[in-house]
Amino acid sequence: MNAPADSLIHLNGVKKIFYTDEVETHALAGIHMDIKKGEYVAIAGPSGCGKSTLLSILGLLDSPTEGEYWLNGQSVAELPLSARARTRNREIGFIFQSFNLIGDLTVSENVELPLTYRGLKASERRDRVGAALEKVGMAHRAKHLPSQLSGGQQQRVAVARAVAGQPSILLADEPTGNLDSRNGESVMELLRELHREGATICMVTHDPRYARHADRGIHLFDGQIVEENVDVNI
């Protein structure tokens, strides 16, 4: 069965079960979900509801126990590791709560690093890095180390790293979780601007203030989608 033509992401009956000491933990219980190109989706729910597990599967960091996952028209649920890594590098941009910047690399080197695995020419990598840093307002800090930046600036660099690869979708995992409210709102405004420019975004958040910025909200509870809101106020 193929994914709908207008879906960038299509999940059909996705389940995830963790086995530990003969105990089965059903993290996801039959998820059916579509994300269209250009959409901004917020995934919300209480701690332990399956949000991070779902994002890990969407990001090809984990595989479903059962079910189908189509990304950009390709079935990816059962891809071998090498193909998953290649697809992840080209199709998905990650924005993590903890920034995940490498401390002894400069800002520009952090943004460039994922591009080096694609075999791009140095000139194209430089152009992409420069454009991405300009987009997030961090071009003037290109030669700084992460330790010389505030938390909000580090997250902006992390966003630049994600968009430099020109991915099909940005996956944001609690992108404001380590920031104060002022820096958090600044990062959310940056994501809104990227969305206005055409980016597809799927964000996990526990904060209803930030979930409201999405086109659609998906509420998880005990590994299941229990509610969806369009033009959300959640």
Domain spanning 39-64+75-230, CATH architecture: 3-Layer(aba) Sandwich (3.40)
Are the CB atoms for 103 and 145 separated by under 8 Å?
A: yes
Are the CB atoms for 3 and 35 separated by under 8 Å?
A: no
Strands 224-230 and 216-221: antiparallel
Sheet of strand 40-44: strand arrangement: 92-95, 169-173, 201-204, 40-44, 216-221, 224-230
Strands 40-44 and 201-204: parallel
Q: In whole angstroms, give the CA distance from residue 187 to residue 198.
A: 17
| pLDDT by 10s per residue, the chain, length 234 | 677 778 999 999 999 999 888 899 999 999 999 999 999 999 998 888 999 999 999 999 999 999 999 999 999 987 888 999 999 999 999 999 899 999 999 999 999 999 998 888 999 999 999 999 999 999 999 999 999 999 999 999 999 999 999 999 999 999 998 999 899 999 999 999 999 999 999 999 888 888 888 999 999 999 999 988 876 444
Which of 49, 60, 54, 50 has its CA nearest to residue 33?
Answer: 54
What residue spans define the domains of the chain? Answer: 39-64+75-230
What global pTM score does this model have? 0.90
Question: Residues 112-139, buried b or exposed e (16+ Cβ, 10 A)?
Answer: bbbbeeeeeeeeebeebbbebbebbebb
- CB-count exposure of residue 43 (10 Å: 0-12, 13-18, 19+): buried
